[in-house]
Every structure is written in structure tokens, then in C-alpha cells.
Amino acid sequence: MIAGSRIGFDPALPLGILIALGVIAALAWAIYLWRGGGAPILRALGLLFLFLGLMQPQWVRETREPAQDVALVVVDQSESLSLAGRRDAARAAGDEMARRLSEQPGLDVRVREARGGPDGTMIASIIEDALADVARDRIGAVVIVTDGQAADAPENPADMRALGPAHVLIVGDPARGDRRLELISAPTFGIVGEPMRVTGRVIDPSGDAQVRVRVSIDGARATETLVRANREFSVNVTLAKRGRNMVIVEADAGPQEITLSNNRAAFAANGVRDRLRVLLVTGEPHQGARVWRNLLKSDPAVDLVHFTILRPPEKQDFVPLSELALIPFPTEELFERRLGEFDLIIFDRYNRRGILQAYYFSSIARRVEQGGALLITAGEGEAGLDGMHRTALAAILPSQPTGNVIRRAYRPAPTTLGQRHPVTRGLPNPERWGRWSMQVDARAAGGQTVLSGADGRPLLVLDRAGRGRVAQLWSDQPWLWARGYDGGGPHGELLRRLAHWLMQEPELEDERLTLDPNSRGLTIERSTLGAAPDPVEIIAPSGASSSAELDPTAPGLYRGEGARAGARAL
């Protein structure tokens, strides 16, 4: 405490006005003196006394308390400090530094911790926040205990000069080595079945030793190779499926390791098909054939081969054989030599008429079970003896016709399962869809019935056969929606989803779990045909576990938010 006294002033008028009055008084006194006034000294004393009265002098007694200087100790506690005992060392060093500084008289010591986040370790912002209430002339020093770099360091270090002198104490053993892997080039997509090149480097302070590098895709070992440390290497990786593939590149442990976490690098690569090949066979000319053709031809990723049978072979007339077909139907080439090239085979209103041999249908069934896809859109002939259900395809078809044909108006509608299935989920305004007027009556012994027709009978049935997929549409009238009949309907979206589901596009999987990073952590999306899913368990690389609740956003679709730290979900 310091006590003292002084004379203070509390002017009755603003300083500018007092100065103006003083100038006027001085001019008046000068004029008085110039004209020979008899008492210039008394006049001057009077004006001075009046001016002093306006200043209102006061006798002030003060008691002052000196303000302490401020010292700030910032202790880094980010994730990297958990390695090799650094966190305890940093905390001990920070505590000891704070203890020694607090022994200095007139010094206020503040201690703050810097935590790591999605964008790195924030240290500069911690300093600014901790000293925001301190005058700049009271800042004594800033001591930073860390093992690395600040993610928010200013581009111009002079901007931090006002916060006082900064001292950095680095914790860790400088003689201890650590091998790490970095990716130089990692493609974001690759063509399924074709190699894509991944380029990286293994950084090892011990020298250019040989290092084994392994590559895995979605947890399955893909390839491995020997590379030289501290030199760039390249490895070819082949994606086996469409959609998102998690590629992990991992190097063997070195002679000295602080952590093995940086021996791995991961990236997501989207698998795409170069061209999706579709074979469309239309059994007879009808108005719906153009709908399928236009839909498939409008997709630049689809390579379409389309044949339409213009006349039945049993028809007898005198037309020369060379004129019976605009283009000869190359059945042997398509269904024997090149059948494995097609991702999807569509039989549209096709009936058995002796054009395709019986063993061709056996080949198609095997192709589907090996990973292909089959779609049958039924015309009225499918209910009779020439239907596709009387071929070898019957073994993979989920539903069979009863032999009856319904010829009255009805409105297609999603079933309870269809409201959850990605092929039909979210299609707009089902209650306003236009009516169809023909349906082949069928019984669904298996599969997934996602659309129902007249009297709730199966209209669209989906199923899996081996590694492939099958769909049966028990009507050939989606073209009514395309023409806008009775208000139309979502024919384009429905048929597009159906074709892509058959070709196993990942976005249309009925059981799917995806994780996407955002600014707050992870966005979790779960698609399922079953009951509401349990909370998702998230396991970080450190082994720490957390859970996230999922809320319904649409039938069969659930979303939630979760923690982010390179986690995986179970």
C-alpha cells in the first residue's frame, strides 16, 4: 500500500472553453496595458484568481495498491502427448514452472491447458483468451510446454509481440526415433477390376532400410511389397466392388517407435464401373419397350444391347428367311460367348417361342448366381405355358404366376416393406399415382414384395440369388406413367432405382451403415429393413469406446451424430 497527497483540479468547464476564456482574458489585459491602465498588476491577479476558481483546485489524499504483473503457463495436453510418457512430463514441467514463478513477488501466475481438436492444437488462441483482461504493460511472460507445433500460429509472428516474451519448453526425447508413413498420392476413385496407383514414402531416421508395406481394402489383405525407407514408392491396388472402399496402407514397425499409429495411413476410394453392360430382350413390340430403352440409353454409364422380336417364329408365310429380321438375333454369341460380360439381363414381355434354347436359361441362372442380375417384366403371356417360370430360371425366381390375369384398373402402392426399402422408399405421392389396368396374378413364396397391385397382390418382387439379384415386375405398364395417364407416376425414378439395385449399387443397399466427417464429429446413417437399430458403438484407434443414438428420419433410415477420432463403428 502506498499513501500520498496532491493537489488536483476538477474544472467547472470543458478544457477547450477554459483555454478560449484564458486567451480572451489575456487579450483584454494586453489592451488594458496598451491603453495605459493604472493598475495592470491588480487586473492580472484578478483575472488569474477568477481563472483559478474555474479550475476548482482540490487537496487529494490517495492510497495506491500496485498491480501485479501476469505470467501465463500453457501446458499442451493434446493427443500426441499421450505417447512415450510425454503427458506426465509436460504436466510436471508446467506445475514446476508455475510453482517457481509464483515465488516471485508481484507476479500473478495463470495456468491453462491446450487441448487438441479436429483442426490441431490451438495454442495462440489459448494465450489470447487467457490474457484478454490484462493490460499489455502488465504481461510479464508466456511459457508454453508442448511437444509440437501450434495449428493456429499467426502468419506474422510480430502480431503476438504485444503479448509479451514467449518461451517454449519442448518435452520428449530428441534421440528417440519414430518411423512414420505418409501418402503422397491417393486416388479418390478407381475403376473396379483395374489397378490404381498409390504413392507414398516411409520416413525412418535410422536410414534407408528395407521396409515391408502392406495394403488392405475393407479389412482384407490386398497386396504387400518391400520398399526403401526415405524413398518414394508406388504400389498398385485393385478395387473389387463399387462404392466406398477403405484402403489402409501400413508399414512394419521400426527399430525405435514412439507409436505405431503413424505407421498407417488410410483413405476412402470410390469404386466405379467403367461401363455397365445391359442386355434388353423385348419379346414383342409394345409401348413399354421405348420406356426401358430411353431410360437405359439416357445413362452415360450404361452400355445397352437391345433386341426386339418383331414376329413369332411359328408364323408361316412366304417371306424369305433373309428378310425375317432387321438384325439377326445372335443368340449363340450373346448367351454363350458373351453372357458373362452383361451386368443386367432384362426380359421384357418375353415368352418362350423356341428362339432361345433351354440350356441358355440354365446359363443365365448360373450367371446370376455368380453375381449378375435378372429382371423380368411380365406380359399376359407370362401367365400361360410359355412363361419364363417354366424354364430353368424358376430355381432363382422368388414368385410364380397363378395362371390368372387381372384386367381392371388398380393403383400400385408400396407395401409396408416397400416403404422401408431403398428402391421404393420416399417415392413422391403414392396416393396420387396413376392406375394400371393389367396385372399377372402371382404368389410370392420368398423375396421382398415392395409394390402391391390389385387386391394387394404382389406387383414388384425382389430377391437375391447367390451373389446376384433378381426382380419380377408382374405388369408391363410402367409406360402409362410415362405418358401421364391418370396423373402419371415416378416411372423414371422407380425404374432407375430398380436397375441400379439389381446392379448392386452401394447407395441402394437395404442394409447399410455409413460414417461421414463433419465439423462436429461424425454423421452416422443407418439403412435397414428391420426394427429400429440399437445405438451405434464407436471405437477410436486408442481403444476408447462411445455410443451414438440414431433417430429416424424416414422409414428404414436413421441418422445420428458421433465422436470423431478416426473411429470405426460396430
Same structural domain for residues 292 and 421?
yes
The position carrying cell 493598475 is 39
Provide the residue count of the chain.
570
Query: Is the model's pLDDT at 75 over the cut of 60?
Result: yes
pLDDT of residue 22: 81
Output DSSP code: residue 333. Answer: I
**E-state strands within 32-154:** 57-64, 69-76, 107-114, 116-117, 120-121, 139-146
pLDDT of residue 9: 74
Residue 74 domain-assigned?
yes
pLDDT of residue 544: 74
Query: Is the model's pLDDT at 282 over the cut of 90?
Result: no
Best-predicted range by mean pLDDT (132-146, 308-322, 395-409): 395-409
Q: End of a domain among 149, 170, 191? A: 170
Whole-angstrom distance, CA of residue 331 vs CA of residue 336: 8
Query: Is the model's pLDDT at 193 over the cut of 70?
Result: yes
Query: Is the model's pLDDT at 162 over the cut of 80?
Result: no
- SS3 at position 282: strand
Residue 342 domain-assigned?
yes
In this prediction, residues 437-452 reach a mean pLDDT of 94
The confidence band for 569, taking pLDDT boundaries of 50, 70 and 90, is: very low
Residues 442, 451: contact at Cβ < 8 Å?
A: no
Whole-angstrom distance, CA of residue 463 vs CA of residue 108: 74
Same structural domain for residues 258 and 351?
no
Query: Is the model's pLDDT at 431 over the cut of 80?
Result: yes
Residues 461, 448: contact at Cβ < 8 Å?
A: yes
Whole-angstrom distance, CA of residue 160 vs CA of residue 162: 6
Question: pLDDT tens, 318-343?
Answer: 655 555 555 666 778 888 888 888 98
Residue 529 exposure: Cα atoms within 13 Å on the Cβ side: 16
Same structural domain for residues 36 and 127?
no
Which H or E run contains 534? none
Q: Which is higher by pLDDT, 65 or 169?
A: 169
pLDDT of residue 567: 45
In this prediction, residues 454-464 reach a mean pLDDT of 95
Residue 268 domain-assigned?
no
Same structural domain for residues 121 and 24?
no
Residues 7, 58: contact at Cβ < 8 Å?
A: yes
CATH of the domain at 202: 2.60.40
Same structural domain for residues 407 and 301?
yes
Question: pLDDT tens, 538-547?
Answer: 877 666 778 8
Whole-angstrom distance, CA of residue 73 vs CA of residue 487: 72
pLDDT of residue 568: 46
Same structural domain for residues 301 and 415?
yes
Whole-angstrom distance, CA of residue 56 vs CA of residue 381: 115
Question: pLDDT tens, 93-113?
Answer: 888 888 888 888 888 888 888
Global pTM value: 0.65
Domain membership of residue 541 as a residue range: 512-569
In this prediction, residues 503-532 reach a mean pLDDT of 84
- SS3 at position 473: strand
In this prediction, residues 349-377 reach a mean pLDDT of 88
Residue 387 domain-assigned?
yes
Check the CA dihedral 186-187-189-190 and report its sign: negative
pLDDT of residue 457: 95
Same structural domain for residues 333 and 473?
yes
Same structural domain for residues 99 and 152?
yes
Strand 512-517 with 522-527, pairing: antiparallel
Question: 68: exposed, middle or buried (C-beta count within 10 Å: 0-12, 13-18, 19+)?
Answer: middle
Residues 157, 148: contact at Cβ < 8 Å?
A: no
In this prediction, residues 58-66 reach a mean pLDDT of 73
pLDDT of residue 386: 82
pLDDT of residue 174: 67
Q: End of a domain among 235, 262, 289? A: 262
Residue 176 domain-assigned?
no
In this prediction, residues 55-74 reach a mean pLDDT of 78
Same structural domain for residues 196 and 339?
no
pLDDT of residue 436: 95
Same structural domain for residues 165 and 193?
no
Whole-angstrom distance, CA of residue 62 vs CA of residue 264: 68
In this prediction, residues 386-414 reach a mean pLDDT of 92
Mean pLDDT score of the chain: 83
Q: Which is higher by pLDDT, 128 or 529?
A: 529
Same structural domain for residues 157 and 234?
no
CATH of the domain at 123: 3.40.50
Whole-angstrom distance, CA of residue 138 vs CA of residue 13: 34
pLDDT of residue 563: 64
Whole-angstrom distance, CA of residue 553 vs CA of residue 533: 13
Among residues of the chain, what percentage have pLDDT more than 90? 28
Among residues of the chain, what percentage have pLDDT more than 70? 89
> For residue 251, what are the β-bridge partners?
213
The confidence band for 68, taking pLDDT boundaries of 50, 70 and 90, is: confident
In this prediction, residues 393-413 reach a mean pLDDT of 94
Dihedral of the alpha carbons of 165, 171, 176, 180, in degrees to the nearest 10: -80
Q: Could you give the number of structural domains in the chain? A: 5
Least confident interval from 83-87, 302-306, 389-393: 83-87
Residue 269 domain-assigned?
no
Reference 439, options 465, 413, 462, 464; nearest CA is: 413
pLDDT of residue 311: 63
Query: Is the model's pLDDT at 313 over the cut of 60?
Result: no
The confidence band for 242, taking pLDDT boundaries of 50, 70 and 90, is: confident
Question: pLDDT tens, 383-399?
Answer: 888 888 889 999 999 99
Tell me phi and psi for residue 388, to 5 degrees. Answer: -65, -20
Q: Which amino acid is at 295?
A: L
The confidence band for 315, taking pLDDT boundaries of 50, 70 and 90, is: low
Residue 453 domain-assigned?
yes
The position carrying cell 454423421 is 523
Query: Is the model's pLDDT at 527 over the cut of 80?
Result: yes
Same structural domain for residues 239 and 380?
no
pLDDT of residue 564: 54
In this prediction, residues 10-17 reach a mean pLDDT of 79
Whole-angstrom distance, CA of residue 199 vs CA of residue 232: 7
Q: End of a domain among 43, 64, 85? A: 64
Residues 291, 482: contact at Cβ < 8 Å?
A: yes
Residue 271 domain-assigned?
no
